[in-house]
């Protein structure tokens, strides 16, 4: 498996592969890989002969320095996991902060037509400017035909689609299903930091999302939201940051249901000091 840390090396390899008519798919990640990430890479091999996986903990998308410092990093075990998918058709791009940002580690300011002001945007200031900056930069370096993003970060997925549309980027974005533990807990790099009791408590998040989905058939979004808030108010370990039922296109909070629109429920929860997010399609 080729592992490169400079954009010049990566570009040289990609140019050679493209000259041989390979199609290049791309999965950007922050490492600490798990089966959720691998499912994106596997999905990518349906459309592409070569997959590039970037592993880069992007400093500009963290609003919390402690979260950035504690983010799990383990390149060796990431490479081992990727080898399970393919030994010779994956290129790992693991750049340094300098290779990406040069001397100025800062983000560009974007407008995503308001998508950036909802949910994660409200609770993590500047987060989506950081995401937009890194993803645009990585697209310029990798120049993939397809890029794969998880619905686990559904708001991010919609923002990337908007980024591509507004900046006229030449890449097709494919959204991929959420990969879960047998317990229902959405796989996340952050799960590895959960202490035992919190790891055992965390499946409550997806269980509650499923119950909310059932209730949504008969109840208003406001009533379902109140019900979810009450469930977490009673919970001894998990602290709800937000639960929100929103339109999948605008990401705006649902006021009145329309049979023509698609909705999702979005949730952010603190388990100890670890922030977990999840979402579920409601109709
Ligand atoms: P991250 O390394 O957390 O930045 O994630 C990299 C990509 O993997 C993003 O597109 C995520 O949405 C996706 N991803 C993370 N966890 C999962 C999961 N459990 N299922 C599907 N995709 C995921």
Q: Are strands 238-247 and 90-93 parallel, antiparallel or unpaired?
A: unpaired
Q: Is residue 36 within 6 Å of ligand 1 at its C-beta?
A: yes
3-state secondary structure of 241: strand
C-alpha–C-alpha distance, residues 8 and 17, integer Å: 14
Closest atom of ligand 1 to 149 CA is 10
Residues 6+ apart with CB under 8 A from 210: 184, 280
Q: Is residue 131 within 6 Å of ligand 1 at its C-beta?
A: no
CATH number at 43 reads: 3.40.50.620
Q: Is residue 119 within 6 Å of ligand 1 at its C-beta?
A: no
Query: Same domain for 127 and 44?
Result: yes
pLDDT score recorded for residue 127: 97
- Quote the ligand 1 centre to 56 CA distance (angstroms): 13
C-alpha–C-alpha distance, residues 135 and 129, integer Å: 10
Q: Cα 12–13–16 angle (5° rounding)?
A: 90
pLDDT score recorded for residue 11: 98
- Quote the ligand 1 centre to 27 CA distance (angstroms): 9
With respect to residue 153, please indicate whether it lies within any of the assigned structural domains.
yes
User: Which residue lies with its CA nearest to atom 10 of ligand 1?
Assistant: 149
Please check whether residue 279 is in contact with residue 267, taking contact to mean a CB–CB distance below 8 angstroms.
Answer: yes
pLDDT score recorded for residue 151: 98
With respect to residue 257, please indicate whether it lies within any of the assigned structural domains.
yes
- Quote the ligand 1 centre to 36 CA distance (angstroms): 6
Query: Same domain for 208 and 163?
Result: no
pLDDT score recorded for residue 49: 98
Q: Is residue 176 within 6 Å of ligand 1 at its C-beta?
A: yes
Which residues form the catalytic set? Answer: 37
pLDDT score recorded for residue 104: 95
* Domain end marker among 124, 155, 176: 176
Q: Is residue 153 within 6 Å of ligand 1 at its C-beta?
A: yes
With respect to residue 232, please indicate whether it lies within any of the assigned structural domains.
yes
Q: Which domain, by its residues, includes 203?
A: 189-281
With respect to residue 249, please indicate whether it lies within any of the assigned structural domains.
yes
pLDDT score recorded for residue 226: 98
Distance of CA 82 to the CA centre of its chain: 18
Q: Among candidates 199, 173, 171, which has minimal Cα distance to 274?
A: 199
Q: Quick one: which H or E segment has residue 24?
A: strand 24-29
User: Which residue lies with its CA nearest to atom 17 of ligand 1?
Assistant: 36
Question: What does the buried/exposed string (b/e) look like for 242-257 if buried means 16 or more CB atoms within 10 Å of the residue's CB?
Answer: bbbbbbbeebeebeee
pLDDT score recorded for residue 21: 97
> What's the total number of domains in the chain?
2
- How would you write the pLDDT of the chain (283 residues) with one tens digit per residue? 999 999 999 999 999 999 999 999 999 999 999 999 999 999 999 999 999 999 999 999 999 999 999 999 999 999 999 999 999 999 999 999 999 999 999 999 999 999 999 999 999 999 999 999 999 999 999 999 999 999 999 999 999 999 999 999 999 999 999 999 999 999 999 999 999 999 999 999 999 999 999 999 999 999 999 999 999 999 999 999 999 999 999 999 999 999 999 999 999 999 999 999 999 999 9
Q: Is residue 25 within 6 Å of ligand 1 at its C-beta?
A: no
């Amino acid at each position: 498996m080729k592992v490169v840390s400079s954009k010049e090396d990566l570009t040289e390899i990609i140019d050679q592969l493209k000259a041989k008519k390979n199609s290049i798919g791309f999965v950007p990640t922050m490492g600490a890989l798990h089966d959720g990430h691998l499912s994106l890479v596997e999905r990518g091999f349906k459309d592409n002969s070569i997959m590039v996986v970037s592993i880069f903990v992007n400093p500009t998308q963290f609003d919390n320095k402690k979260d950035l410092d504690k983010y799990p990093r383990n390149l060796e075990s990431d490479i081992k996991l990727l080898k399970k998918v393919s030994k010779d058709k994956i290129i790992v791009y693991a750049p340094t902060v300098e290779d990406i940002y040069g001397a100025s580690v800062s983000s560009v300011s974007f407008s995503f037509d308001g998508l950036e002001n909802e949910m994660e945007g409200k609770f993590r200031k500047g987060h989506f400017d950081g995401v937009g900056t890194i993803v645009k930069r990585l697209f310029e370096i990798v120049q993939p035909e397809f890029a794969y993003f998880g619905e686990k970060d559904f708001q991010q997925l919609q923002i990337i689609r908007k980024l591509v549309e507004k900046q006229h980027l030449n890449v097709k974005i494919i959204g991929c299903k959420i990969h879960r533990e047998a317990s229902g807990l959405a796989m996340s790099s952050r799960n590895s930091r959960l202490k035992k009791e919190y790891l055992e408590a965390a499946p409550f998040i997806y269980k509650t999302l499923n119950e909310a989905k059932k209730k949504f058939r008969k109840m208003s979004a406001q009533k379902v939201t109140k019900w979810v808030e009450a469930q977490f108010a009673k919970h001894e370990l998990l602290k709800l940051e937000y639960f929100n039922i929103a339109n999948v296109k605008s990401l705006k909070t649902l006021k009145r249901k329309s049979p023509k629109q698609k909705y999702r429920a979005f949730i952010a929860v603190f388990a100890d000091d670890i922030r977990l997010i999840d979402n579920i399609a409601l109709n």
